[in-house]
Structure 1
Amino acid sequence: MQNGFYTVTGGMVTQFNRLDMISENLANGRTNGYKEKRGVFGDYLRLAQNRREELPLPNQTKEAAKFLNRSVNRVPRMVEAYTDFTMGPIVETGNPLDLALGEKNLFFAVETPAGIRLTRDGAFKLDDEGELVTREGYKVLSKNYFQNRQAITIPYDAIDVSVGKDGRIEYLDKTAMEAPIYLDELMVVRVDNLQDLEAEGDNLFAMPGKKLEKEMRIVTDTDAVHQYMIEKSNVNPVREMTALIETNRLVEMYQKVMSAQMDDMNSDAINKLASVRA
């Protein structure tokens, strides 16, 4: 196989990975609280030069050059995939159970069959039992969850449910129209290093290798909870569409190079080798 095939194949695989990431972002352009996926691209030679002190061989770029195919060194690859936690726009909905967080490091905690997970999607609702849940049916946790293991349950006769900026939940009923009745407080969690989080399905985040119950910091004083608001996706559709067009064009270019390698160069080599000269 010609050396050019390595470079072209690596470039196409990289663009396919990028295409998957762009497609996921575009598909979630209207998902509440969604955080876009992004990638860092590089090549082996650049990585070896930047990290040669950390590699096992002394003077790595000089000694290893005897064994490495130099054409492979320039093969582009995705160095790192990460989540961009930049806040999306916060819009007013008029729904009292829609909640948004005003800081990017804050999350709501929910209970799932796989354990406790975090989310930025505050589009909540009440289930048949009157418990506060996500659109997927996961229970929204209260600040006292680890003490009583009880869900946030809103009475059926509640007339006006209010959620303060500190997460304090109160309501009015027919017998006490003027004095709000204290119900519970939302569990709001702060994550210092956002890259410790790993995105899962249903717009949830986990912390692989760690137990959220032990690692997460429950906020005791905050003014970042906004009722009647929802955070939208932080995906920029114009930028993603531009990247999609660019990726498709790069794949087409790589395909043409592969065709040239396979058809033109091989054909030319066969003709020259097969020619008989007097």
Structure 2
Amino acid sequence: MDHALDTMATGLQASQTMMDTIADNLANVNTTGFKSEMPQFQTLLYQDGIQPGAQSTGQTQYPSGLELGTGVKTAAISDVLTQGSLTNTGNPLNMAINGSGYFQVVLPNGNTAYTRDGSFQLNSNGQLVTSSGYQVLPNISIAANATSVTIGTDGTVSVTLPGSQKANQVGQVQLANFVNPQGLQPLGDNLLENTSSSGAAISGAPQTNGLGSVNQNYLESSNVDVVQSMVSMIAAERAYQLGTQVVSAVDNQLNYLAQAAQA
């Protein structure tokens, strides 16, 4: 009986993890560049009663084993790295990556972080920064009196100044990618940092070395599938309900045995 309760406890915890993940996905359904998360589960160690293929007699073998499972564990929560839809904002400083790659920004401690959120602005020095004020790398400065800003799909940034008909190039947005993007560590604020699992950043100009293109006036929406999330939520809720019913059934059996022992 204790074995059943212990096993079911792991199942309830797994269902709770699924619900927590779905809740986070739905909470970020409107977060720019957010990638939905998917928990991955694995079985726990089995209790072997009879090993498959063991000798049942000197001449015969067991065709199957007697192995009792001990439950489930959460192995990982991975990001679903599919492309989010691109939404036109009409803001010339907004950029969306169509394809692979991340924008690079410098943190206050000097480290480089990475993001798919291209809702950039200008600081008091005319530098391109994130909504939290982190400077985009490489540094791109735009004059306050610029009459227009044009960002090409290859990341080239050009501005037109008053009294001039010619656009002047002031920089080029660079993207970074990783051998294993799943290994990036979330920092909050739509930022990620590389780890030993992700590998070092491989940076370059958009549309080169497998990097995506940059779309001006657009932002990448989250890739959360609301309908699928609702279906998964119902499945997780049903699994949790069934788990509690198993616990209740075991509890009833224990009470029955206790009463029988006292009789």
Question: 5+ residue gaps in structure 1?
Answer: 49-58, 63-68, 143-150
Match of 2:204 among 219, 231, 238: 219
**1: distance between equivalents of 2:41 and 2:260?**
39
| Post-superposition offset of 1:182 | 1.6
Q: 1:4 aligns to what?
A: 4
| 1:103-114 equivalent positions in 2, closer than 5 A | 103=99, 105-114=100-109
**2: distance between equivalents of 1:24 and 1:201?**
13
**2: distance between equivalents of 1:272 and 1:60?**
37
1:30-50 Cα shifts (integer Å, max 9, x gaps): 11110111122231358x9xx
Q: 1:249 aligns to what?
A: 238
Q: 1:185 aligns to what?
A: 172
| Post-superposition offset of 1:129 | 2.8
**2: distance between equivalents of 1:216 and 1:124?**
21
Q: 1:195 aligns to what?
A: 182
Number of equivalenced pairs: 244
Match of 1:205 among 176, 184, 192: 192
1:172-226 Cα shifts (integer Å, max 9, x gaps): 11131x11112111121122322232222111121124898xx212213627111
Match of 1:258 among 247, 254, 258: 247
**1: distance between equivalents of 2:259 and 2:239?**
31
| Post-superposition offset of 1:164 | 1.0
C-alpha RMSD over aligned residues: 2.5
**Poorly superposed stretches of 4+, deviation over 6 Å:** 59-62
Match of 2:159 among 151, 158, 171: 171
Letter in structure 1 aligned against 2:205: T
Q: 2:24 aligns to what?
A: 24
| Greater helix proportion | 1
Say if 2:73 is the partner of 1:77: yes
What secondary structure is seen at the aligned counterpart in 1 of 2:29? coil
1:110-153 Cα shifts (integer Å, max 9, x gaps): 112352111111111112332211122211111xxxxxxxx322
What secondary structure is seen at the aligned counterpart in 2 of 1:179? coil
Q: 1:54 aligns to what?
A: none
**2: distance between equivalents of 1:211 and 1:8?**
35
Letter in structure 2 aligned against 1:182: Q
Say if 2:154 is the partner of 1:158: no
**2: distance between equivalents of 1:270 and 1:79?**
38
Q: 1:90 aligns to what?
A: 86
Q: 1:39 aligns to what?
A: 39
**2: distance between equivalents of 1:183 and 1:251?**
57
Percent identity, aligned pairs only, is 27
What TM-score does the superposition give when structure 1 sets the normalisation length?
A: 0.80
